[in-house]
Structures are given as C-alpha cells and as structure tokens.
A and B are shown apart, each in its own frame.
Chain A
Amino acid sequence: MKNFTIIIMLLVGGAHLSLQVLKLLPTNPLTNYYNGFVAKYDLGFIPQKWLLFAPEPPKFSHRFHYRCGINQKEWSYWNDPVEENLQTHHRNRLSPAQYKVRFFKDSIRVLNNAHSNIGKGLNCPKTKNQECYKESIKKLIDTKPYEAMAFIVTDLCKEKYGEGINLIQFRSLTIHPVSYSKRNDPNAKTNVNSRLYPVTKTMSL
C-alpha cells in the first residue's frame, strides 16, 4: 500500500511538473500539439508565465499629468501625481507610496496601449494624423480603461482642489532614456513623447 501511494504521488507530481515545463517552454514546433491541453490544465492556480520573471528591461516608462477645471474658464496647472510618491518610495522602500507609483504608472500605460490598439485597428499612420487621432479618441472614451482613468483623475482633482471641480484633462508622457551608447554624451537628451487626452467631465459613481 505504501509503495502504491508513493507511485501515485510520483505520477501526480510528475504529471504536474511536466505540464509546468510545457507551459513555460518558449514557442517551438511542437507548441500547437500540446498547447490545448496545457491551457486547460492551467487553471490559474499557478500564475507563472513564460515572461513573468524575465522581461527585457523596458526602454521607456510612463507618467501622466492632469489638470482640473471649472466651467472651461479656470484651469489648474498640470500636476504630476507620481513625483511626490516616487520620492517617498526612494526614501523609504517600505512605504505605501511604492504601490501608488505602480498604480498611477500602470493605469496610464494600460490607457496608452488601449489607444494604440484602437489606432492600429483604424490603420492610423505612425506619423501624426489629426483625423485619425479624433477618430481613435472618439472610440477610446467609451472604453473601460478611459472611464477608469477619468475616475482616478477626478478623485485626484477633488482631493487637491475640492468638490467644485467639474472638468478634468490628462496627458501621458512616454519617457525614452538616453541609449547606453550615448550615456556619457553631454548633448544626449531624454526623449519624451506626449499624448493629450480630451477635456472630460468629472466622473461620479
């Protein structure tokens, strides 16, 4: 009975491990053969993905600025919600600010990705095109990421300027650092791409 138990355990453990290995293997000529049953087995309990622990370091990072307005007449300066939290995170690695930095940066990243995907769907050219931009924004404002971002900025505005705010606007900044080969070049500068999102009414639940 004891031997039988051990054999069963080895079979179960071995099957689990084999499926983990197949899941973690990079795409190969046999992937199509096993992908179906591996995906069915991957119930989400073991959320390790092939790229989870080994990303190529990002060659750019995201931030956003927001401003708050009253009836299109009065607008605040552009505020950076990340900077203050980032400084706290640098001073104290155990501070709650680290998650706020992640939350804000990831939120704008998701929104930018959603916008880019809409642009791709519309076959927008890579160069700036006003018509395409308007069309993609029109589609974007109905999406979940835009709604969520508008909620986040509404909260930030109300926290900073009070309940009287009724308009918000935000812009994303994609920051490309100086490449490694130019790191000691005094003339090399960080490249920043900005994406302006439209003026939106404050959100309420």
Chain B
Amino acid sequence: MIKKYFEKDNTFTTNLFMTLVYAIALIEIIIRLPNAKLFYGSLHKVTEIGDLNGVNYIFDIFHLIPNAYIVVLSLYIASLLINLTNLKNIFSKTSAWYLCGVLNFYNPSIADGGSAVILIFMFYAIFLNDSKNYYLKALNNMFLLLIQLQVCFIYLSAGLTKLNGQLWTRGVATYYALQVDQFSHPILQQYFAKNAFFVTLSSLGTLAFQLSFPYLIWNKKTRPYVAALGSLIHLQISFGMGLVTFGLIMSVSYFSFYNEEEIKKVLNRFKLSQVSVFFDHECINCMRFARLMRILIPKKSLIIKDANKKDPSFLETLHLTDGQRVYQGFSAICQMVYRAPILKIASPVFYLIEKSGLGAYFYDQYILKSNWRNNCREGVCTLNYIK
C-alpha cells in the first residue's frame, strides 16, 4: 500500500496547490506594495524584527544591504510570477520562499498566521515537481503528504491550545475577538457580537471543528463537509475579520487532500453548462422566482420551460435537467445558484445545506406544503389564490 502511494500520480493536485499558494502570496504582496516604503524602507522605522532562532539570520539581509527593499520586492514578485507559469523551477521556488522569509523577518508587525502558513507551504513546494521519474514522483508524493499532515497539525495544535484556555471553552471567545476593531467589522459588532446564541455557537463550533478536522479530513465521506465548513469559517475570517490571506491560504490548503478526479468533479459542479428548468407557468410565485433567475443567470446557462408542457409529474416539484441528470426541489435551486454569477459566493453554503439534507427538508416543509400550491392531485395543483 505504501509503495502504491509513492507511485501515485499527484501532479495535478500539487500543481493546482502550488498555483493557488503563489497566487495568494502575490495578492498579499500587491496589497502591501503602496506602503512598501513605510514597511520595508528603513530598518529604523520598525519596532520589532523577527526571532533570530536557528538559522533565521539567513533572512536578515536588510542589515547587510540597507535600502535593498525595492530589489527584494521586485525579485520576490518576479519569482512569484514565474512560479505561476510552467516556467517554474527549483530556483524560482527557492527564491520565492527565501524572499518571503526575508520580508516576514524584517517586519513581523504586518505578518499574520497567513504569512507563516504561506512560508511553510513555499518551503515544502520547493520539493514538489511534476516529473515522471519514479524517484522524483515519490519525492513529490512525500512532500504532498507532509503538507497534508502540517495542515492537520495546525488544526490540532490550535484546537488543543484553545481547549487549554478559558475563553473558547466557555463559549465567549468570539465576543472578545469581535471587540478588537482591527479584527472585526461594525456590522458584526452591532448585530452579532452581543448575540449569545451566535457567540456560543461560533466559539464552541470553531473548537469542535479544529479538534475534529485532523480525523475527519482523511475520510472520503466526511471530507467534502469538513472542507465546505472549513472554507466557510475561513472566508468569514478573511472578509468578516479582515485576515484576508490567512483565510484564503487555509481554504486553499484543503485542495492538497483531493486527487485530480475529485477536484474535477467539484469544479464540474460549478461549471456553467446549460440547464433547463421547468416552472409551473400557472403558479404566480413560481414565475416570479423564474423571472428573478432569468435576471441573475446568463441566458447561455439557463432555459426556462413550462412544466405543464413537459410531463405532469414535473408539476409536483421543481425540476431541472442538464441533459444527463434530473435535479428536483432544493437540488434544482442549488444548480441555479451555482450558475448565477452574483450568487457564486453563496455556493459553498448552498452546497453544504444541500448535502446535509436540510435543504430538501425545508423545501418539503415550507415550499411544497405552502399555501402557494396545494390540493395537488396526480401532479395537477389548484392554486389557493385563484380558487
């Protein structure tokens, strides 16, 4: 089994993973660029530099070459750009990792957990490759495994530390986190921070998630749920708390657990293939919803058809087909959400609700049994308001 693992072709996963890591690093440095002079321009203006543990002094080049920040930044950005293409090689990857370390070491005040994770992944990425050579392929697979285990350690150590503290276990940590203006947002402070239900659920939920992640991510059945929930938490950290790179890099780390087939399957789910959706043209509310979908979804992705003309059984519930599969009820709504550009950001939420079965339950309880359409017999419904 071990031999088989090392012989496996994981180049699609490692290439995708590397591209995403270098892309996030590029976004991070581009956001810092307008204030580069303030952050890196003079050693005299930085209150704290990194720890000089181990051989960390190799990152301390600004002491040797003051005012080198323009050269360092230019080389770093060039390395990242090369690493985003097929031209990437061991030198460009080593250079990106080293210069990332230099910048983090020089001004740790502006670095966060995301910067540290990027540096760790960049170090491992040096050894990732897409060679067909047996030994290099084995090396690629071993470092992919190290990345996966490092992600698990991140969660495990974070969860265990939280368990040792007081605020997380008492379920009030989110309240205090949201009181720090830098890691919060006025809307969150006003509507969520004081809500006991939200504060307790988010604090204990985060704790439970972090402690269970290292086990559940290895199980093929639980992996999609863990990844979807983790992405939700981290996107909230990115855009709710404002730790953009940390949230993004942790979300990206989940890609290391998926093989080519699984990733393509997930991507295909969000592909804009054309679908036909069947609405009951006699149902006013259904047609209002159809018109809304017409506005939100490009014409090339959605065709609206009359369910009455297709099949009487299509009147019982919402039906959608992509030519190969037929989706019903809440799954049909999800398929439309995935195709609406403006609703793309909500896709993970809908995916999670659909997969958990909650969506189908609520659809049955509140839409199918609603007053809009009842007295259905053999697929034909009498609408209440035109009785």
Contact = CB atoms under 8 A, between A and B. Distances in A.
Contacts of B238: 93
Interface stretch (A97-105, A119-127, A164-172): A97-105
A145 B153 contact: no
A47 B45 contact: no
Secondary structure at chain B's binding surface: helix, strand, loop or mixed? helix
30 contacts: A9-B142, A10-B2, A12-B142, A26-B160, A26-B161, A44-B56, A47-B116, A48-B116, A50-B161, A52-B116, A53-B157, A56-B168, A57-B167, A58-B180, A90-B242, A94-B31, A98-B244, A99-B31, A99-B32, A100-B38, A102-B112, A103-B38, A106-B110, A144-B47, A145-B47, A149-B47, A151-B44, A177-B179, A183-B193, A183-B194
Contacts, number: 183
B173 A102 contact: no
Secondary structure at chain A's binding surface: helix, strand, loop or mixed? helix
B32 A96 contact: yes
Contacts of B153: 20-21, 24, 48
Contact of B135 (A5, A95, A177, A180): A5
B38 A93 contact: no
Interface size class of B (residues with CB under 8 A): 35 or more
B244 A93 contact: yes
Given A56-B166, A103-B109, A178-B179, 18 more contacts: A13-B145, A24-B157, A39-B53, A42-B53, A43-B55, A47-B119, A54-B161, A56-B167, A94-B244, A96-B31, A96-B34, A102-B109, A103-B38, A106-B110, A148-B46, A149-B47, A151-B42, A203-B44
A31 to B, nearest CB: 15
Contact of A110 (B48, B53, B165): B48
Nearest to B188: A90
A105 B109 CA distance: 9
A148 B123 contact: no
A99 B110 contact: yes
Interface string B138-155: 110010011001100110
A30 interface: no
Nearest to B174: A57
A96 B185 contact: no
Contacts of B107: 103
A72 interface: no
B323 interface: no
B39 interface: yes
Contacts of A16: 146
Contacts of A24: 153, 156-157
B244 A44 contact: no
A68 interface: no
Interface residues of A, number: 66
Interface string A135-176: 000000000110111011001000000000000000000000
A110 B166 CA distance: 25
B176 interface: yes
A9 B157 contact: no
A12 B146 CA distance: 11
A144 B46 CA distance: 9
A44 B109 contact: no
Contacts of B160: 26, 54
A59 interface: yes
B177 interface: yes
B59 interface: yes
A54 B33 contact: no
B312 interface: no
Contact of B48 (A9, A59, A61, A145): A145
B175 A180 contact: yes
A203 B177 CA distance: 36
Given A21-B153, A103-B39, A47 B177 contact: no
Contact of A54 (B159, B179, B182): B159
Interface in B172-206: 172-177, 179-182, 185-186, 193-194, 199
A129 interface: no
Contacts of B377: none
Contacts of B54: 39-40, 42-44
Most buried by B among A12, A26, A93, A152: A93
Contacts of B51: 44
